[in-house]
Amino acid sequence: MSKPISFFIALLLIPVFIRIYAAMHTVHAVNSCPIKHLAIIMDGNRRWAKQRKLMSSVGHKQGAETVKTLVKFCLSRKIEIVSVYAFSLENYNRSPEEVQAIFDIIIDHTETSLPSFIEQGIRVRFIGATKTAPAHVQDSIARIESSTSHCSKLLLNVLFCYGGRQEILQAIEHIIDDVKQGKLTEAPTEEIFKTYLWTSALPDPDLIIRTGGVQRLSGFLTYQTTYSELYFTDRLWPDLTIQDLEHAVETYNLRSRNFGK
């Protein structure tokens, strides 16, 4: 066979080889459970600011902006629920100045975003021991929740003054009270126990993403995360992108969830 003919045949076979190679290296999704509830541990605001020699409050402000990226992603993916860890009960151990700054940023950013949230159909709910916050913060929370209560496209849960262990302990306290008052006459089932949690009306998270390179849950939805898929990234929260979120979801889709079966 002459060299020109051999070269011509080789050119014709290139697309065939490309398709075979692609088929051999294509990884198909195995997860049949689409994400309904996405949960985020927003870690790295202070380190982001420190790297830039800025005050920690600047990092928290930038982190609040990243929530817009998260919301945009959830809407585009038709994810129904997203929960973000905004302030833990342990965060009260920080300086009063930083605690106050975090409160102000969370409330100011949420109130400023209200028109956009309402327009996009985003309901905002604060979950946690919110009564521990100052009165003016509680008033803002009530106003935000009331203003978005009719929205149904996306539920944005802000875990605020939240602690997983504290949530469980409070549920037990309420169960004991109900037993004493005769409202509960038998040992609660798992489903009944869930109704005593701050997250009573929510399904458990399908995927939890933690930024900042730390690989632990830090009291985040302690009871609810038994079968949640975990994804950790070194990216600091203020730097998180749509592409980072896409990669986390793609990783989730490649996992097989059998819930112990």
Domains and their CATH numbers in the chain = 39-253 (3.40.1180.10)
Crossing angle of helices 242-253/56-77, nearest 10°? 50
Q: Is 93 a catalytic residue?
A: no
Mean pLDDT by 10 residues, the chain (261 residues): 53 50 49 89 98 97 97 97 98 96 96 96 98 96 98 98 98 97 94 97 97 97 97 98 98 88 74
Of 91, 178, 204, 239, the active-site residue reads: 91
pLDDT at residue number 256: 87
DSSP 154: E
pLDDT at residue number 15: 52
Q: How far is CA 170 from CA 4, 80, 128, 195, in A?
A: 81, 27, 11, 12
pLDDT at residue number 24: 47
Q: Is 104 a catalytic residue?
A: no
Q: Please list, residue by residue across 187-200, b when 16 or more beta carbons sit within 10 angstroms of its beta carbon and e when fewer do.
A: ebeeeebbebbbbe
pLDDT at residue number 126: 98
Tell me the one-letter amino acid at 208. Answer: I
Q: How far apart are CA 185 and CA 239, in angstroms?
A: 51
pTM: 0.86
Of 43, 45, 157, 253, the active-site residue reads: 43
